[in-house]
């Protein structure tokens, strides 16, 4: 027996002894498979805490719970357990769209009702849910006369580790929001960091700390306190208050995903399971698909958002994109720069944006009619320049305008180091704003994709019209970033960090990888760009390059064929920051698509196709790096190979540095 196991056994024995003698001190909850355990306890001072073990190894060591309030005593000690209850749930629910069609929600729940022994005798409930692959817990402020409207000064929730584990992170409290390159460091060296925070433990486990169901609360960052201690950090309002609370209410869930393999983090649906079911009723109008758009040419410097000779969002150019989308059976056309407000310095000053007034060279009525005739819809664009009040003042009219003009989707943006009223992009103010936008979009049957907004916490289950967010460094950095663009490892880290929170609008699909109008080039190969359509999940994928770079290109067939709505997802192999191979089954069919990518190191691997149904024959088409491909000197070289395969087949894959393979596996007719 290892020292860690002995310590854990002693702790559990002590807690069990306390429980059997005094149910007012400790309680235990086990996951359905009994391999994960949560131990809740009160210290001798009545302070709540918890620890989590997995396969008899402590993953989260003894960690504090509670709050510090403004103008009131702390909600951290002096408690006793009034009541506790354990319930079990095992159901399966259907996603209207998603990376997994049917999701099993199998958990046990422990609800602990606490009350202060003395003083105001305030009440605080803590709810734990244990899944086989992780834990969620939240605070509940029940209705009570001595705790109604109050201000949270600090949340004391901890996630303490047993060792100085390595973590992949991006910083909090920085001007560029969450658009950073991920770094890997021991947790004791971390600054304030954003979640999801992904950790590899000394016991070779993988842990992701995040939150679920973030509603009317400040979002959570993580503070490293030294000695392997991690603490919740709530983003403040500009007056210093972290969160305003009106009881009764519940906090977001604090989530801890645990996996033996990194790929298992991706196929853990704990975040979604902790959100409430669909609240908006019939969502048959929410349809996954693919789109092109007036966008990449601006990042290349060929067009502009503002008025002038290079203004890209004009009637003629938009019709060009509509024609291309219709020809290749794409659903939508994104148009940026169509409305008044782009002239002058709009970043951190978007008060001039008007969301119902088009520029003179953009005939909205003509384009609405033209798109409808072609069977395509225009995706609206609302850049706010971080001027929230200006946007909210026009919100009803803006979304009525979208609906009236057949725009079934909208992309929003909040570019600015902070919101123009001085609030953080991650505070309660922005959480409330995003809720208004999400509900307004649902009212008008608009699919919402948000950039530079509050992070995803699984609310797409409750509001299925909120289909994706950006909230990370996307493709556009490859065009103009002074650091040379996203490094080869960037997209091999995103699936295990940012993408654990939800779909990302990364906008893959660049074919002209050398970017002749820019100093940069894409740090990857053409085959890798194709593979990203499978690796990076979103239900509405963009083919971001210029139409002329796609027209007549044999590799464009993969983008035409690849699905965006899935029956199931499997991660076949993965190493964070090094490589990942993902397979997804197209919803309603037996067809599969596979994407494999690597960092700057070349890679050879073999994948079994045993996920295919037995007794059927398929045509596998591989879009892959060629022997001549080099991501620095010859990134556009590629090969296409087709072969018959079945469930016993094995595919041997060869990737150059920063290369990839994209595979369509279509049932043979």
pLDDT in tens, 175-192: 899 999 999 999 999 999
Question: What's the maximum distance between 2 C-alpha atoms anywhere in the chain?
Answer: 81
Report d(CA 532, CA 595) in Å as an integer: 7
Per-residue pLDDT at 259: 98
Other CB atoms within 10 A of residue 334 CB: 23
Please name the helix (run of DSSP H) or strand (run of DSSP E) that holds residue 123, with its range, or none.
strand 123-131
* Tens digit of each residue's pLDDT (9 = 90 or more) over 196-219: 999 999 999 999 999 999 999 999
The two tokens of residue 627 are 């022997």
Cite the residue boundaries of each domain of the chain with CATH code 3.20.20.70.
287-471, 473-504+511-538+557-669
Does residue 552 come out as left (phi exceeding 0), alpha (psi in the -120 to 50 range) or beta?
left
Alpha helices in 196-295 (DSSP H): 262-266, 270-273
Per-residue pLDDT at 244: 98
Per-residue pLDDT at 11: 37
The two tokens of residue 657 are 């540095």
CATH dotted code for 287-471:
3.20.20.70
Query: Dihedrals φ, ψ of 560, to 5°?
Result: -65, -40
What lies within 8 Å, CB to CB, of 240 at 6+ separation is 153
Q: Which residues pair with 565 in a beta bridge?
A: none
- The average pLDDT across 537-558 equals 98
* Tens digit of each residue's pLDDT (9 = 90 or more) over 34-44: 999 999 999 99
* Tens digit of each residue's pLDDT (9 = 90 or more) over 563-589: 999 999 999 999 999 999 999 999 999
Per-residue pLDDT at 25: 80
Nearest to 98 by CA among 456, 408, 461, 462: 461
**What contacts 24+ positions apart, CB below 8 Å, involve 28-31?**
29/86, 29/108, 29/109, 29/110, 29/128, 29/130, 30/108, 30/130, 31/107, 31/108, 31/130, 31/131, 31/132
Report d(CA 317, CA 292) in Å as an integer: 12
Look at residue 505 and tell me whether its pLDDT is greater than 80. Answer: yes
- The average pLDDT across 534-550 equals 98
Report d(CA 218, CA 197) in Å as an integer: 17
Three-class HEC string of 50-104: EEEEECCEEEEEEEECCEEECCCCCECCCEEEEEEEEEEEEEEEECCCCCCCEEE
* Tens digit of each residue's pLDDT (9 = 90 or more) over 223-266: 999 999 999 999 999 999 999 999 999 999 999 999 999 999 99
Assign domain 63-273 one CATH number from 2.30.40.10, 2.60.40.10, 2.70.98.10, 3.90.180.10. Answer: 2.70.98.10
Report d(CA 598, CA 621) in Å as an integer: 19
Per-residue pLDDT at 13: 35
Please, are residues 288 and 330 in contact by the beta-carbon 8 Å criterion?
no
Per-residue pLDDT at 24: 60
What lies within 8 Å, CB to CB, of 381 at 6+ separation is 334, 335, 336, 337, 338, 339, 410, 411, 412, 413
Look at residue 5 and tell me whether its pLDDT is greater than 80. Answer: no
Per-residue pLDDT at 12: 38
What lies within 8 Å, CB to CB, of 658 at 6+ separation is 488, 523, 524, 525, 528, 598, 599, 600, 631
Straight-line distance from the first to the last Cα atom of the chain, in angstroms, rounded to the nearest whole number: 57
Query: Dihedrals φ, ψ of 242, to 5°?
Result: -85, -45
- The average pLDDT across 67-71 equals 94
- The average pLDDT across 396-403 equals 98
* Tens digit of each residue's pLDDT (9 = 90 or more) over 270-318: 999 999 999 999 999 999 999 999 999 999 999 999 999 999 999 999 9
User: What percent of the chain has pLDDT above 90?
Assistant: 94
The DSSP code sequence of 550-613 is HTT-TTHHHHHH--SSEEEEEEEEEETTTEEEEEEEETTSS-EEEEEEE-SS-EEEEEE-TTSP
Q: What is the mean pLDDT of the chain?
A: 95
- The average pLDDT across 27-53 equals 98
Look at residue 9 and tell me whether its pLDDT is greater than 50. Answer: no
Please, are residues 597 and 491 in contact by the beta-carbon 8 Å criterion?
yes
* Tens digit of each residue's pLDDT (9 = 90 or more) over 138-175: 999 999 999 999 999 999 999 999 999 999 999 999 98
Please, are residues 231 and 111 in contact by the beta-carbon 8 Å criterion?
no
Cite the residue boundaries of each domain of the chain with CATH code 2.70.98.10.
63-273
Q: Can you give the length of the chain in residues?
A: 669
Look at residue 646 and tell me whether its pLDDT is greater than 90. Answer: yes
Nearest to 422 by CA among 195, 172, 236, 223: 236
pTM of the model: 0.95
- Residues marked active site are found at 476
The two tokens of residue 451 are 């950039």
The two tokens of residue 402 are 């979208």
Domain 473-504+511-538+557-669 bears CATH identifier 3.20.20.70: yes
Look at residue 6 and tell me whether its pLDDT is greater than 90. Answer: no
Look at residue 20 and tell me whether its pLDDT is greater than 50. Answer: no
SS3 assignment, position 215:
coil
Per-residue pLDDT at 354: 98
Per-residue pLDDT at 632: 98
More confident call, 610 vs 71 = 610
């Amino acid at each position: 027996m290892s020292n860690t196991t002995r310590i854990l056994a002693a702790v559990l024995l002590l807690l069990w002894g306390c429980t059997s003698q005094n149910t007012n001190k400790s309680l235990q909850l086990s996951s359905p498979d009994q391999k994960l355990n949560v131990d809740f306890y009160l210290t001798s001072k009545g302070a709540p805490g918890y620890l989590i073990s997995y396969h008899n190894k402590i993953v989260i060591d003894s960690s504090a719970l509670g709050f510090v309030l403004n103008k009131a005593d702390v909600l951290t000690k002096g408690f006793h357990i009034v009541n506790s209850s354990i319930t079990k749930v095992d159901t399966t629910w259907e996603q209207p769209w998603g990376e997994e069609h049917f999701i099993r929600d199998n958990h046990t729940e422990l609800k602990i009702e606490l009350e202060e022994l003395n003083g105001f005798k305030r009440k605080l409930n803590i709810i734990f849910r244990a899944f086989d692959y992780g834990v969620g817990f939240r605070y509940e402020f029940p209705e009570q006369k001595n705790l109604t409207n109050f201000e949270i000064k600090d949340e004391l929730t901890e996630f303490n580790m047993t060792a100085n584990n390595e973590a992949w992170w991006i910083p909090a409290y920085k001007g560029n929001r969450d658009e950073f390159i991920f770094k890997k460091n021991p947790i004791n060296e971390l600054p304030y960091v954003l979640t999801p925070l992904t950790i590899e433990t000394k016991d070779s486990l993988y842990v992701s700390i995040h939150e679920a169901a973030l509603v009317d609360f400040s979002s959570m960052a993580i503070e490293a306190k030294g000695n392997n201690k991690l603490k919740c950090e709530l983003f403040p309002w500009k007056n210093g208050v972290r969160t305003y609370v009106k009881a009764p209410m519940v906090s977001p869930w604090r989530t801890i995903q645990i996996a033996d393999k990194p790929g298992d983090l991706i196929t853990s649906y704990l975040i979604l399971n902790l959100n409430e079911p669909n609240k908006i009723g019939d969502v048959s109008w929410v349809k996954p698909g693919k789109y092109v758009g007036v966008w990449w040419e601006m990042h290349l410097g060929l067009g502009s958002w503002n008025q002038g000779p290079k203004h890209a969002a004009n009637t003629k150019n938009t019709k060009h994109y509509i024609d291309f989308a219709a020809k290749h059976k794409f659903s939508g056309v994104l148009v940026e720069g169509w409305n008044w407000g782009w002239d002058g310095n709009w970043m951190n000053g978007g008060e001039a944006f008007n969301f119902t007034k088009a520029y003179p060279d953009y005939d909205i009525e003509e384009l609405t009619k033209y798109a409808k005739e072609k069977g395509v819809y225009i995706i609206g664009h609302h850049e706010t320049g971080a001027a929230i009040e200006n946007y909210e003042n026009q919100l009803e009219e803006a979304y009525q305008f979208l609906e009236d003009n057949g725009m079934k989707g909208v992309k929003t943006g909040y570019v600015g180091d902070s919101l123009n009223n001085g609030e953080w992009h991650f505070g309660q103010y922005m959480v409330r704003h995003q809720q208004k936008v999400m509900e307004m979009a649902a009212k008008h049957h608009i699919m919402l994709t948000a950039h530079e907004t509050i992070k995803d916490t699984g609310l797409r289950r409750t509001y299925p019209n909120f289909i994706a967010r950006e909230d990370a460094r996307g493709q556009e950095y490859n065009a103009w970033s002074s650091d040379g663009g996203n490094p080869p490892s960037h997209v091999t880290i995103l699936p295990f960090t940012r993408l654990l929170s939800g779909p990302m609008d990364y906008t893959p699909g660049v074919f002209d990888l050398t970017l002749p109008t820019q100093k940069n080039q894409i740090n990857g190969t053409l085959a890798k760009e194709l593979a990203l359509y499978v690796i990076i999940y979103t239900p509405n994928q963009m083919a971001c390059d210029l139409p002329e770079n796609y027209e007549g290109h044999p590799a464009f067939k993969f983008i035409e064929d690849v699905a965006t709505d899935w029956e199931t997802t499997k991660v076949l192999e993965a190493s964070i920051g090094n490589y990942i191979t993902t397979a997804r089954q197209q919803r309603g069919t037996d067809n599969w698509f596979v994407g494999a990518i690597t960092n700057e190191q070349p890679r050879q691997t073999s994948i079994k196709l045993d996920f295919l149904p037995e007794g059927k024959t398929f045509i596998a088409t591989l879009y892959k790096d060629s022997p001549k491909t080099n991501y620095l000197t010859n990134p556009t070289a590629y090969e296409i190979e087709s072969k018959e395969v079945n469930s016993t087949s094995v595919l041997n894959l060869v990737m150059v540095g920063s290369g990839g393979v994209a595979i369509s596996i279509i049932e043979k007719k």
